[in-house]
Amino acid sequence: MISQKILSITCPSRGCHDITSKITNFVSEQSIDIGLCHIFIHHTSASLIISENADPKVLVDLETFMTSIAPDGAPQWIHDDEGPDDMPAHIRSVITQNNLSIPITNGKLALGIWQAVYLWEHRTHQHQRQITITLHV
Amino acid sequence: MISQKILSITCPSRGCHDITSKITNFVSEQSIDIGLCHIFIHHTSASLIISENADPKVLVDLETFMTSIAPDGAPQWIHDDEGPDDMPAHIRSVITQNNLSIPITNGKLALGIWQAVYLWEHRTHQHQRQITITLHV
Amino acid sequence: MISQKILSITCPSRGCHDITSKITNFVSEQSIDIGLCHIFIHHTSASLIISENADPKVLVDLETFMTSIAPDGAPQWIHDDEGPDDMPAHIRSVITQNNLSIPITNGKLALGIWQAVYLWEHRTHQHQRQITITLHV
């Protein structure tokens, strides 16, 4: 048994957007006791991560980190057609995740107590992002 | 068909802990010819990686690398409630994996000859970590 | 239902090799309407990524980025038995992916319009690499 849902998410600017409830809602609509929940993002300049869900300062520091290793507008990037954040967005995407799989246990998404699922928008301006959730047993 | 097992693993300190045998043991207890083995860690300051299984110097160099890009106690980290290794642990987690899927072929976990699965503890002090293994066909 | 295929791919040198058509060909040979396609690489010095499929300059910049954070032959690497690119290849592997899962929707691999699957060879000389594709519903 497998069920799939496509979601469109508006990201107003660069940063981590908590999408956990969108995923747990879809899981709770199905009657799966044990299984897996797969999430995929159909883009190369935004990504999916699981990170700490309590302190917003973690999300600030994640941006600081990415800026330190892949700065916007650095002279070494030769791919810059869409601006100074173009190539850094691809790099951030490649070293994080475009797909996640999370266990379903006792009918629920089995995230740890401090875990949230974030859609990390890496472009500085607003983008519409599409993800596909696939549940399977 | 799907089967799931939850494991609790004690990590005495920062570093990569080989958990390959725990996974191959669970696979060998089931009778799956072809399928997938999914491993998930329920934490945001420890992660899962597949890396070289022969030379312990690789694991030393992986620590050196992480220290070079996300140093403990650096002044730029504003999330430091749990100490100088707090934010670096979240960063290390985000740029490695919290979930892995490995093929099962001919009834065995189909790792390459030089591959091992490691639980990478990113905090400097001892932590108890929980992982869930899910086998499915 | 599950089907598996093992592929051997020759990578003449360091760089990203587009393997998308090898995967879509296998998907189109099966009759799966909704499901998942899992790809695994059996090595620790090459990896799998999904990245931008249009501008080859992105792939150049990805190399530039990796060289900036994990340079070949740097004096801090103590694992160098196979040469200056030995340890950097393991690092590049660990911070990218060794496994990907991509949705199958309406019988097709549901990549975004700008997404391609690359086998990223991290060693500078030619290597033969093995990947396993597993399709499941």
pLDDT along chain B (137 residues), means of 10: 94 98 96 96 98 97 98 98 97 98 97 98 98 96
What does the DSSP 8-state code read for residue B122?
Answer: -
Q: What is the pLDDT of residue C63?
A: 98
End-to-end alpha carbon distance in chain B: 6
Q: Give the minimum alpha-carbon distance from C56 to chain A in angstroms, rounded to a whole number.
A: 9
Any chain B CB within 8 A of the CB of A106?
no
CA A14 to chain centre: 12
Overall size of chain A counted in residues: 137
In degrees, rounded to 5, the angle at the alpha carbon of residue C74 between the alpha carbons of residues C71 and C75 is 165
| Residues of chain B contacting residue C43, judged by C-beta atoms under 8 Å apart | 112, 114-115
Q: Is the ipTM of this complex over 0.90?
A: yes
Determine contact: C128 vs chain A, CB below 8 A.
no
- Chains within contact range of chain B (3+ C-beta pairs < 8 Å): A, C
Interchain pair B60, C38: CB under 8 A: no
Cβ–Cβ under 8 Å, residues B79 and A57: yes
- Residue B45: per-residue pLDDT: 98
3-state SS string for chain A: CEEEEEEEEEECCCEEEECHHHHHHHHHHCCCCCEEEEEEECCCCEEEEEEECCCHHHHHHHHHHHHHHCCCCCCCCCCCCCCCCHHHHHHHHHCCECEEEEEEECCEECCCCCEEEEEEECCCCCEEEEEEEEEEC
Return the partners of chain A (3 or more C-beta pairs < 8 Å).
B, C
Task: Tell me how close the Cα of A99 comes to any Cα of chain C, in angstroms.
Answer: 6
The list of chain C residues with pLDDT below 50 reads: none
Distances (CA, A) of C20 to A91, C2, C68: 20, 20, 28
Return the closest-CA partner of residue C21 out of C101, C100, C109.
C109
C94 touches A: beta carbon within 8 Å = no
CB nearest C44 (choices: B50, B96, B103) = B50
The sheet carrying C15-18 orders its strands as: C15-18, C115-121, C46-52
pLDDT reported for residue C116: 98
Q: Do A137 and B136 touch (CB under 8 A)?
A: yes
Q: Across-strand partners of C51?
A: C116
**Is this structure's pTM higher than 0.95?**
yes
Residue-level pLDDT at A28: 94
B107 Rama sector, left if φ>0, alpha if ψ -120 to 50, beta otherwise: left
pLDDT of A14 reads 98
Residues of B in contact with C44 (CB under 8 A): 50-52, 112, 114-115
pLDDT at C5: 97
Q: Which uninterrupted H or E stretch holds C35?
A: strand C35-41
Cα separation, C124 vs A64, in Å, equals 31
Evaluate if residue A1 carries a pLDDT over 90.
no
Which of C2, C90, C91 lies nearest to residue B34, judging by beta carbons? Answer: C2
pLDDT in the model for residue A36: 97
Q: Residue C40: which of B64, B103, B113 has the nearest Cβ?
A: B103
Please indicate whether, in this complex, the C-beta atoms of C44 and B51 are within 8 angstroms of each other: yes
Tell me the CA distances in angstroms from B133 to B46, B78, B103, C124, one per residue in order. 16, 34, 13, 35
Which of helix, strand or coil describes residue C60?
Answer: helix
Q: What is the dihedral of CA A26, A30, A33, A35, to 10 degrees?
A: -60
pLDDT at res. C102: 98
Whether chain B has a CB inside 8 Å of the CB on C90: the answer is yes
C-alpha distances out from residue A94 to A16, A47, B79, Å: 16, 8, 25
Contacts of B128 (CB under 8 A, 6+ apart): B8, B9, B10, B11
Number of other CB atoms surrounding residue A29 within 10 Å: 11
What's the confidence (pLDDT) of residue B41? 98
Which chains, if any, share at least 3 CB pairs under 8 A with chain C?
A, B
Phi/psi of residue A35, each to 5°? 180, -160
d(CA B34, CA C4): 8
Pick from C36, C49, C60: CB nearest A38:
C36
Contact C103 A79 (CB under 8 A): no
Q: Give the span between the Cα atoms of B42 and C32, in whole angstroms.
A: 32
pLDDT at A43: 98
Query: What is the predicted pLDDT for the residue at C97?
Result: 98
Q: What is the pLDDT of residue B46?
A: 98
| B103·C130 Cβ contact <8 A | no
| Residue pairs between chains B and C whose CB atoms are closer than 8 Å | 87
Q: Is B96 exposed, middle or buried (0-12, 13-18, 19+ CB in 10 A)?
A: buried
pLDDT for residue B101: 98
